[in-house]
């Protein structure tokens, strides 16, 4: 229920922002167009946010024949957690990480990167996948995917505002002064909201809860602790390969560890608890 309320609040916020920007750019007509667009966006965000995220990372669905160990671990853990079998995806990047998405357990997906498969042993991978299934069980995945999609839309609005400021707004050169003012104000206000919405919507406590539930599902808290230790190091020291998919600020909160190390904005609006504290709690179990 709490996640549904947060989802409703996020969608209402998106509607309000789009209407305000529409009114600023096009007056009453712009506001009406923006409202219609917001309704379409709300529908698409609720029903298709998971597919949007998976497509963003060019995730490929796999079967037991493609990745027998990965698929077998997910299958075993879902039975133990009394969950429906989710779809299993692979993201082609050397960055070691994983995430889960889907609007509910009946429409869930678990994604692992090729980097994490080469870094972790079977027990550690089991701990990570149990953590992701805990997010599915706790119904964190809908709010995560919705927040990611909305953050992406807001970032897009901020970019539009920036270009509007540079080129004098919709009205062209004759309206350059007011266009610049509106563009710069919109950029200054809207750009930080993308990170702030994620920070407000995604509680760091959900990671601790998923760690604890994942440890219970896998029955190996030490394996998840070891995995987090490797992933914390691996996420900052992996060697990027040509063709690797890059993580974005709007979706960083979905991964098991923060994939954007050293990024000032993400440090200001941290969506993950400190990994050392997570490891400490798991090893005390």
Residues with a catalytic annotation lie at 132
Cβ contact 145:101 at 8 Å: yes
Q: Where are the beta strands (DSSP E) in 63-206?
A: 87-91, 98-101, 109-113
CA distance 55 to 215: 29
If you count DSSP H runs as helices and E runs as strands, how many of each does the chain have, helices first? 10, 4
Minimal CA–CA distance to 217: which of 283, 124, 130?
130
Other CB atoms within 10 Å distance of the CB of residue 21: 22
Name the token pair of 148. 């990611």
Question: What is the 3 state secondary structure string of 172-217?
Answer: CHHHHHHHHHHHHHHHHHHHHHHHHHHHHHCCCHHHHHHHHHHHHH
Q: Which backbone phi and psi does 121 adopt, to 5 degrees?
A: -85, 180
User: Cβ-count burial of 48 within 10 angstroms (0-12 exposed, 13-18 middle, 19+ buried)?
Assistant: middle
């Amino acid at each position: 229920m709490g996640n549904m309320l947060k989802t409703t609040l996020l969608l209402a916020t998106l509607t309000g922002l789009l209407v305000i920007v529409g009114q600023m750019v096009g007056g009453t007509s712009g506001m009406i167009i923006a409202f219609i667009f917001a309704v379409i966006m709300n529908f698409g965000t609720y029903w298709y946010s998971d597919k949007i995220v998976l497509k963003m990372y060019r995730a490929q669905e796999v079967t037991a024949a493609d990745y027998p160990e990965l698929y077998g671990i997910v299958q075993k853990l879902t039975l133990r957690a009394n969950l429906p079998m989710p779809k299993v995806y692979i993201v082609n990047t050397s960055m070691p990480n994983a995430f889960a998405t889907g609007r509910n357990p009946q429409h869930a997906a678990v994604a692992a990167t090729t980097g994490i498969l080469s870094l972790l042993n079977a027990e550690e991978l089991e701990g990570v996948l149990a953590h992701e299934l805990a997010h599915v069980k706790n119904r964190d995945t809908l709010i995560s995917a919705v927040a990611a999609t909305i953050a992406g839309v807001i970032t897009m609005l901020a970019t539009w505002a920036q270009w509007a400021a540079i080129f004098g707004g919709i009205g062209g050169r004759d309206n350059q002064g007011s266009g610049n003012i509106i563009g710069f104000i919109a950029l200054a206000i809207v750009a930080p909201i993308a990170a702030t919405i994620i920070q407000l919507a995604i509680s760091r406590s959900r990671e601790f809860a998923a760690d604890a539930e994942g440890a219970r599902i896998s029955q190996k808290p030490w394996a998840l602790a070891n995995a987090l230790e490797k992933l914390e190091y691996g996420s900052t020291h992996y060697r990027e390969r040509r063709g690797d998919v890059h993580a974005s600020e709007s979706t960083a909160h979905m991964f098991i560890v923060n994939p954007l190390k050293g990024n000032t904005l993400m440090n200001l609006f941290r969506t993950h608890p400190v990994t050392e504290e997570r490891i400490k709690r798991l090893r005390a179990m």
